[in-house]
Amino acid sequence: MSLIKTIEFDVLGDERGSLISLEQNRNIPFDIKRVYYIFDSAEDISRGFHAHKDLQQVAICVKGSCRFILDDGKSRESIVLGAQNIGLYIDSNKWREMHDFSEDCVLMVLASETYDEADYIRDYDDFIKAVNHDS
Ligand code: TYD
C-alpha cells in the first residue's frame, strides 16, 4: 500500500477566480486544532526530519511547490506538491522530510493537535526503534 495518501479538494471557481474550502471532518479527516504555514524557505534548504507520535496532518502547497519524502520505517516515497487542490495526508509515525522549496512556496499544514514538542521524534534511529516496537 502506498505511503502517499492525497486528498483532492473541490475547486469552487467562477469568473472571479478559484476558491477551496477546508472543513474539519468533511474534506479534512480530523478536528483541526492548529494551522501553520511555511514560507521563505530557500531552495537549498530541507526541513522536517521528524515524525510525530500522535498527530495527523494535511499539507497543502497553496503557492509554489516543494517535495515531500514520507518514510514508515520500511520504505520511503516521494511526492511533489504543487497544486492548490491537493492535500498530502500524513498520519502518526511517519518520518517526513521537505525538500526543493520553490522560491515562492507557501506550504500550509493543518494539524489535529496543538503544538507539543514532546510529540516529536527528531532522531531517525529513535523513529526506527519506535515503529519496530509498535509492529
Ligand atoms: P519544526 O517543526 O522544526 O519545523 P519543520 O518541521 O518544518 O522543519 O518547527 C520550527 C520551529 O517552530 C521550532 O522551534 C518549533 C516551532 N513551532 C511552533 O512553535 N509551533 C508549531 O506549530 C510548529 C510546527 C513549530
Q: Is the pLDDT of residue 1 over 80?
A: no
What is the chain written as a DSSP string? --S-EEEEPPPEEETTEEE----BTTTBSS---EEEEEE---TT--EEEEEESS--EEEEEEES-EEEEEE-SS-EEEEEE--TTEEEEE-TT-EEEEE---TT-EEEEEESS---GGGEE--HHHHHHHHHHH-
**pLDDT at residue 134 in the model:** 72
The predicted-structure confidence for 66-112, as pLDDT tens digits, reads as follows: 999 999 999 999 999 999 999 999 999 999 999 999 999 999 999 99
The rounded Å distance from CA 16 to ligand 1 centre is 35
pLDDT > 90 in the chain, percent: 96
pLDDT > 70 in the chain, percent: 99
Q: Locate the ligand 1 atom nearest the alpha carbon of residue 47 and give its number.
A: 8
The CATH topology of domain 5-10+20-134 is Jelly Rolls (2.60.120)
The rounded Å distance from CA 27 to ligand 1 centre is 25
Catalytic residues: 50
